[in-house]
Amino acid sequence: MKKELNPVKKFGGAIEVPGDKSIAHRAVLLSLLSKDKIEIINFPDNQDCNSSLKSVEALGVIVERSENLVSLTPPENLTISDDGIIDCGNSGTTARLLAGIIAGSDISATISGDDSLSKRPMKRIIAPLTEMGAEIFADENNTLPMKINGKKLLPFEYRLPVASAQVKSSVMLAGLASSCSVRVIEDIITRDHTELMIEHLGEGLDVRVIKAEMVVDKDDPRKKKMIMPEDFKKEIKISSQTKINGGRVDIPGDISTAAFFLAGAAISKHTVTVAHLGLNPTRTAFLTYLKTIGCKVEITDKETVSGELRGTVTVTGADLKVKKISGDTTVGLIDEIPIVAVIAAFTNGTTVIRDASELKVKESDRLEAVAENLRLAGIKCGLLEDGLAIEGGTEFSGADFKSYGDHRIAMAFSIAAMFAVGPSTIDDASVVDISCPEFYELLDKVRN
């Protein structure tokens, strides 16, 4: 579906966005390991989350839906249909987390996905799961489809070689499924929804976040200095006692979806408010970024529901300043980089984004996709080995943008089109259904 988009006269308003995709995946997948029923309120009805629902259904979970409430009743024992194939569609989170669960279960299954997911790297989970004793068969490229013969796994210690919440979660869930101890160490803290969901629906998880400490300087006792007491930032321990009991999960709005509308506020210098928005500190780097570049960011009505922080966020745009993005900040903005790049195009000066190689293996090569679309709009954009250099502040022309089959690219350039000079099109706008089928309805609410 080609979508025509005209520039706005005015942008702003108050919206709510659908439930957080990452949190929903975890609530659904944990039903495979739960003693009792899991009920999910504000379930986001998008293609990715529905891939998780279909996966657990294929393994014997009874799924009941009404409006945005989903009820999941776990089976006595996991089962699998005759062909043994579980199709995860476009959803990397479903495939990687499910692989961990199946690896530690007592069934065999083949995990498959669509063309895009079948190109994405699976070695990152195959390697640690195999070290735990899992039996996994994939082709020489270590891509889907992969067959997993579930087994009793061995205790495992793992220092994440790639800053990935999906890899972390896959290994944790394998330990949980197999009731064996797993210790995971993070050098860069990634999103922690799996940890919070296990704590909310279960018990027996041990999490330690390492904080810098003030100590007396040995060389000069008059001085104090900050040190890290460990050479890592976080330690997570699953034990044979860790278990999931079940319960209710109320999902906050998805900050990665809200980011597109908040970016519109930033570019237009108008105001957008989003209520009931997830504010988990591992996901709010985008709000920090907006503040750093000069926007006003207000947060009210903060509360913790189902273990996750939420609140109402109001962003008002201003004259935007350039900010380099690298290191831990890039990890914190991992899903927001396409819209950050769009903001950069509307900012005077050159924005450099580094340490972003992971974006090459998302639903599309997001570095290429962003660079190509920015160039179509007449913006100079350099493709770096691990990022982008975007020369902003020049005229942003309307263009025929390409989604590359990637929901976040379609959304980022739909927002860009709002502020372009002249009309634009998005070639396959229906890809927004992957994470937010309501995207264009929401956009209609804030554009004039």
Binding of ligand S3P by 195 (CB under 6 A): no
Q: Which of 335, 365, 406, 433 is catalytic?
A: 335
Closest by CA position to 70, among listed 106, 94, 46, 88: 46
By C-beta, is 50 or 169 nearer to ligand S3P?
Answer: 169
360, with CB counted inside 10 A (0-12, 13-18, 19+), is middle
Part in contact with ligand S3P (CB under 6 A); list of ranges 30-38, 140-148, 158-166, 273-281 = 158-166
By C-beta, is 278 or 317 nearer to ligand S3P?
Answer: 278
Binding of ligand S3P by 93 (CB under 6 A): yes
Q: Name the β-bridge partners of 215.
A: 225
d(CA 200, CA 194): 10
Task: Provide, rounded to whole angstroms, the least separation between the CB of residue 236 and ligand S3P.
Answer: 14
**Contacts of residue 266, Cβ cutoff 8 Å, sequence gap at least 6:** 290, 293, 295, 315, 317, 318, 320, 343
Q: Pick the binder of ligand S3P from 335, 336, 365, 433 (CB under 6 A).
A: 335
Binding of ligand S3P by 234 (CB under 6 A): no
Binding of ligand S3P by 166 (CB under 6 A): yes
Q: What is the three-class DSSP state of 35?
A: coil
Q: Give residues 4-33 in contact with ligand S3P (rule: CB under 6 A).
A: 22, 25
Binding of ligand S3P by 334 (CB under 6 A): yes
**Contacts of residue 179, Cβ cutoff 8 Å, sequence gap at least 6:** 240
**Is the bond into 145 cis (omega within 30 degrees of 0)?**
yes
Part in contact with ligand S3P (CB under 6 A); list of ranges 38-46, 79-87, 164-172, 206-214 = 164-172
Which residue, chain included where needed, has tokens 């909310």?
200
Q: Pick the binder of ligand S3P from 51, 94, 105, 164 (CB under 6 A).
A: 164
85-87: strand order across its sheet = 85-87, 108-112, 146-149, 135-137
Q: Give residues 360-399 in contact with ligand S3P (rule: CB under 6 A).
A: none
Instruction: Tell me, by CB under 6 A, how many residues bind ligand S3P.
Output: 12
Can you say whether the dihedral through the CA atoms of 72, 75, 77, 82 is positive or negative?
negative
- Is 406 a residue of the active site? no
Task: Provide, rounded to whole angstroms, the least separation between the CB of residue 190 and ligand S3P.
Answer: 6
Binding of ligand S3P by 273 (CB under 6 A): no
Positions in the binding site for ligand S3P (CB under 6 A): 22, 25, 93, 164-166, 169, 190-191, 334-335, 358
Q: Which residues are catalytic?
A: 335
